[in-house]
Amino acid sequence: MKELYGRKVYKLSLSSGCTCPNRDGRIGTGGCTFCSEGGSGDFAAPFTSIDEQIRKARLLVDAKIPSKIPSEERRYIAYFQSYTNTYGDTARLKSLYTETINRPEIVALSIGTRPDCLDKEKIGMLQELNRIKPVWVELGLQTIHDRTAERINRGYTLDVFTDAFQRLKAADLAVIVHVILGLPGETEEEMLETVRYLADCKPHPDGVKLQLLHVLKGTKLAAEYEEKPFRIFTLEEYCRLVVRCLQILPEDIVIHRITGDGPKRLLIAPIWSADKKKTLNALNKAIREADRKVFI
């Protein structure tokens, strides 16, 4: 972003007013087992007019921006994060996203969605928006293993993801893929197999988000964990695994995230992840040490 726009760019978490086919009964109910009532967008602004959403989101984000940067010079990515943001009436979504992307402070649009909600009409809409400013499509893969996908109630198989990914890339859209590390029942080797799958994709994903599994209150995963606790990473184990993931992924894939935030009021495990500064420091240390070993 600094190379493209000459400044740091901040992300505004917004809501499109969509729900999810894995919640409303079209595919399933209850959503993925790890997904909170906020639809994995617990920090997103509530759904109101886009003007009001951006105003509220900027109040939170602007506190992090140096005061020497005038308000009118600040730039943002509009991130529609909660639920499935290509699930709904295409005309309504096109109007909402067009209004958002045409705002002068918005430099890119990031759309979080599912691969089973990307028909020809929706991809055509995203293509049109991409002609105005860059559009990123964020796909929740989480795992390539259909056994795990069934356990977490993801609601689609790997071939559905592969098909949607290829159609998005054929439409010249940037694709960022989400992977969850620590899903119940998966070995570390299986998690690395998911990362290798993305490394071997042709073309490569434009970006990858590595997300630590959070067990959050009110989710099906929390009920499963309380009834029969499954293995949760220690901070040291997680850092080691992230380093291995980064060693696998090609250099042309942008790493958008190496952990994630679970709302402290909802977080059951791992408790260590609530200390974001300590977590990021540990991850950065592990990465630096791995680099030193490579170059020695």
| CATH code of residue 266 | 3.20.20.70
CB 142 within 8 A of CB 183: yes
pLDDT per residue over 112-168, tens digit each?
999 999 999 999 999 999 999 999 999 999 999 999 999 999 999 999 999 999 999
Q: Is residue 48 very low, low, confident or very high in pLDDT (cuts 50, 70, 90)?
A: confident
Q: Tell me the average pLDDT across 36-41.
A: 60
Radius of gyration of the chain (CA): 19
pLDDT at 13: 95
pLDDT of 296: 40
Q: Give phi and psi for 255, each to the nearest 5.
A: -90, 110
Cα gap 282→235, rounded to integer Å: 8
- Measured CA to CA, the distance from residue 28 to residue 25 in angstroms comes to 5
The answer for residues whose C-beta is within 8 angstroms of residue 15's C-beta and 6 or more apart is 41, 44, 45, 46, 47, 53, 80, 81, 82
Task: Tell me how far apart the alpha carbons of residues 134 and 166 are, in angstroms, rounded to a whole number.
Answer: 18
Q: How many structural domains compose the chain?
A: 1
Mean pLDDT of 88-114: 97
Residue 277 burial (10 A CB sphere; 0-12, 13-18, 19+):
exposed
- As a whole number of angstroms, the distance between CA 160 and CA 168 comes to 12
pLDDT at 44: 55
Q: Residue 146 is part of which domain span?
A: 2-295
**Spatial separation of the C-alpha atoms in residues 177 and 112, rounded to whole Å:** 10
**Residue 41 pLDDT greater than 80, yes or no:** no
pLDDT at residue 43 in the model: 53
pLDDT, average across residues 236-261: 95
Residue 294 — very low, low, confident or very high, per pLDDT cuts 50/70/90?
low
**What is the value of pTM for the model shown?**
0.93
* pLDDT of 261 over the 90 cut: no
Res. 28 pLDDT band, cuts 50 70 90: confident
pLDDT, residue 38, reads 57
Residues 59-71: tens digit of each pLDDT: 999 998 988 999 9
Share of the chain above pLDDT 70, in %: 96
Q: Which residue has the higher pLDDT, 142 or 261?
A: 142
What confidence category does residue 42 fall into, taking pLDDT thresholds of 50, 70 and 90? very low
Cα 94 to Cα 34, 41, 128, 230, 239, distances in angstroms:
29, 21, 9, 42, 40
- Which of the four pLDDT bands, split at 50, 70 and 90, describes residue 292? confident
Q: Following DSSP, what letter does each residue of 101-165 receive, concatenated?
A: HTSTTEEEEEEEE-GGG--HHHHHHHHHHHTTS-EEEEEEEE-S-HHHHHHTT--S-HHHHHHHH
What is the Cα–Cα distance from 5 to 260, expressed in whole angstroms?
25
Among all chains, which residue has been given the structure tokens 């105003």? 55
Q: Specify whether the CB–CB gap between 287 and 243 falls below 8 A.
A: yes
